Amino acid sequence: MSNWKQKIAIGADHAGFDYKELLIKHLHHFEVKDFGTYSTDSVDYPDFSHPVATAVENGEFDLGILICGSANGVAMAANKHQGIRAAICWTEELASLARSHNDANVLCIPARFITPELAIQITDKFLSTSFEGGRHAKRVNKISC
């Protein structure tokens, strides 16, 4: 049995702050780095999306989690990075498919549209699902420009 701990980068804007704090506590069995924000004061989501995306893209972290009100802003910013495949997920099934079919490496959670309990379930599904490869790998390899 390996002692390897999956490394997770997490960040949020003010709308996602409470969910970020909840998920950090829930993910105590992972190695988690909090890239902010650190309060509910209004901030700009790219200021947190880009550091999380960079940390995943350069291999410092295995996966990332970004949270904002709709998840659109954080996903758009993260997906500007060539090595990032950020997926907005509001159901467990979407989280599973994002990982298994699209090899998503950043989960984007829409805090204003799901419950805290569902955010935990989606996160657990995302982190426990592996990429299937095979026919999906060919497609995923065509994503980067």
Is 86 a domain residue? yes
Say whether 25 sits in a helix, a strand or coil.
helix
Domain assignment of residue 22, yes or no: yes
In a domain, 79, yes or no: yes
Is 14 an active-site residue? no
Mean pLDDT of the residues in the chain? 95
Confidence check: pLDDT of 15 > 90: yes
**Segment 6-29 mean pLDDT:** 98
CATH number of domain containing 94: 3.40.1400.10
pLDDT tops 90 at residue 142: no
Domain that holds residue 102: 7-139
Tokens describing residue 49: 């999306």
What proportions of the chain, in percent to the nearest 5, are helix, strand and coil?
40, 15, 40
pTM, entire model = 0.95
Greatest distance between any 2 Cα atoms in the chain: 44
123 backbone dihedrals φ, ψ, rounded to 5°: -60, -45
Give the active site residue among 14, 50, 68, 108: 68
Active site residue 101: yes
The pLDDT of residue 3 is 53
Number of other CB atoms surrounding residue 86 within 10 Å: 27
pLDDT tens digits, 53-66: 999 999 999 999 99
In a domain, 145, yes or no: no
pLDDT of residue 1: 41
Number of domains in the chain: 1
pLDDT digits (tens, 9 = 90+) for 74-100: 999 999 999 999 999 999 999 999 999
